[in-house]
Amino acid sequence: MMDRREDKSSLSTSPGVITTENFQLRWNVNFATRRIEGDVILSLKILRENVSHLYLDTSNLEIENVEDTSNSEKLAFQLKEPHKCLGTPLEVSLPSTVQKGSTLSIRIVYKTSPTASALQWLKPAQTAGKSHPYLFSQCQAIHARSLFPCQDSPAVKAKYKAKVTVPRDLVALMSAQRGGEEPSNDLSTKTYLFDQDVPIPSYLLAIVVGSLESRKIGPRTLVWSETELVDQAAFEFSETEKMIAAAEDMLGPYVWGQCDLLVLPPSFPYGGMENPCIIFITPTCLAGDKSMANVVAHEVAHSWTGNLVTNCSWEHFWLNEGFTVFVERKIIARLSSKQHRDFHYIGGWKALHDAVERFSTTNKENTKLVLNLDDIDPDDTYSSVPYEKGSLFLYYLEKLVGSEDEFEEFLRAYMEKFKFSSINTQDWKQFFLSFFNEKDAAGVFEEVDWDLWLLGDGMPPIKPSYDTTLSTACSDLCGKWAKAGEQDRINFSSVDIQDMDSSQIMEFLSLLLSEPPLSQTCIREMGRCFNFNASGNCEIKFRWLRLCLKALYEPAIPHAIEFASKWGRMKFARPLFRDLFKLEPARQRAEVAFNDHRDNMHPITSTMIAKDLVEITG
């Protein structure tokens, strides 16, 4: 299982038979029809003899024509039977002249569906400026196939160029270097040029079109957003260059050139997305105090762990995310302290425990690091498990190695060995033991139960010991509130948290969520003391609202519904809607709110919440 390379999430031809070396996109973005129209030229390398057909992943694409670009010969094609969750394979009959070692260039003319799962089209009213429409993409995990016909597998990496035509008053950005504009006499449109000369997997293809402005915040970083948010974003993420430099010191040179940030509208479903050259960031990170900058550290780390060295399939997703959390927290240690690194691991343990608990009643398979994705949409397995369990495994191994410096030497060697390639868990394990062969021979890793860590379900077999300096104040205050009786409420005041930073307040609330429900009197008193309802930090507000719902505090229901409906980040929207669906006084209102707002949500978010609703209410 650890050495499996086949990608069960792709219906395309295996990259061992045919592989895409580069592609060229020519797109017209049509907001009126909510379609992208145009073509893609795929440059293919034939790696086997007797190859007569090419299969590409698609999802709801309208294919108009396929041709061999060398002679404009039309190639026969057909869309095959749709799969229940993996889209519809496109079969292309190849010229009889193809043979092992030859190259082939084909052009596919097509258009996307108005309901393409990779795209969200926003009406002007859904944007901050309220004047212009907006489009953004999210291709991870398997949504690139709704954007263009491709080998939609992380095992396939290709360079790309693009020409993108958009309304003249809008800006287009992609996960590539900006190449300026193509001269045109058309006064209604602009055509932007892009070039990505580092091979990427399809899930890292990204586009955004909107009324965007930028601010320079570093030698290789612009921050982009709508006018209304761009200055706030520039302040919030002003330390991005320090993060890039810390990662370079640890992992080697940054190869992508530009490292821009884009703050998206509220419906963006994730905290961030590591698109090369243009990292997407949720607006929920705009807390006003730079306290959410760890999200940027995570996405910056992905420039190496995930983008440069990539999991060969989504069954090995922990190689992307476990490594990235591990590096993210090392960046935090460099910029803050090792105490802060361990503090984040303490919070991560609880997030992992919550995910394991949730899957314990539905699918324990999803709590393994190496998954089996037979006929399973990778989105259905998404959780903190690959992030936290994976990074914990690396933290544990680092402790066994006994030296952070030595482990970072391994990280640099690992990046150098596998850069520009896609690997599985066995590749990583073999390289790890080879790099530390002397320690392995000396029995340093004898205690490691590799199969239990990688293939076992549930919590990790070992819980590392952490520095608790920063967490003690959180656990002490949690203990006081958890044990508070009616007569104790006069003993609490805002002074209790004045020396805590935002991450400590988040930890305090997270700890309380693991305790039995507070009394409604305590909830009212906490609201009075700390005024969490007025917090501008979405992470704090989210935990506070969950705490209120757990206490069956009905005055919080409308606030929770409003928060879950406004912020499309799945980390917030899914747990809150799940809490609301389970709460009898809130269920009907929550269902109505979800149905009222689902068209404004990203397709990934609305699909997952709809599945949650069915699971909870039947």
Active site residues: 299, 387
The full length of the chain comes to 618
> Parallel, antiparallel, or unpaired for β 260-263 and 221-225?
parallel
Cis omega (within 30 of 0) for bond into 141? yes
- Contacts of 551 by beta carbon, 8 Å cutoff, 6+ apart: 517, 518, 519, 520, 522, 523
Nearest-angstrom CA–CA distance, 616 and 287: 32
Enter the tokens of residue 552: 């069956």
**What DSSP element (H or E) covers 166?**
strand 158-167
Nearest to 468 by CA among 327, 331, 340: 340
Rounding to the nearest 10 degrees, give the CA dihedral for residues 586, 587, 591, 593: 0
Nearest-angstrom CA–CA distance, 41 and 22: 8
Q: Could you please report the per-residue DSSP string of 488-516?
A: GGGG--GGGGTT--HHHHHHHHHHHHTSS
SS3 for 554? helix
Instruction: Please give the single-letter amino acid code of residue 331.
Output: I
**CA dihedral sign of residues 47, 48, 51, 54:** negative
For tokens 């006994």, the residue is 402
Find out whether 263 and 283 touch, Cβ atoms under 8 Å. yes
Nearest-angstrom CA–CA distance, 594 and 561: 9
**CA dihedral sign of residues 587, 593, 597, 601:** negative
Whole-angstrom CA distances from 277 to 171, 174, 232, 368 are 16, 8, 21, 32
For tokens 């390289």, the residue is 431
Nearest-angstrom CA–CA distance, 202 and 182: 25
For tokens 């109505």, the residue is 592
Enter the tokens of residue 436: 């530390």
Instruction: Please give the single-letter amino acid code of residue 599.
Output: D
Nearest-angstrom CA–CA distance, 150 and 153: 9
- Contacts of 606 by beta carbon, 8 Å cutoff, 6+ apart: 598, 599
**What is the CB neighbour count within 10 angstroms for residue 65?**
12
Instruction: Please give the single-letter amino acid code of residue 55.
Output: Y
Whole-angstrom CA distances from 585 to 543, 544, 552, 616 are 20, 18, 9, 15
Q: Compute the chain's Rg from CA coordinates.
A: 25
Enter the tokens of residue 586: 């809130």
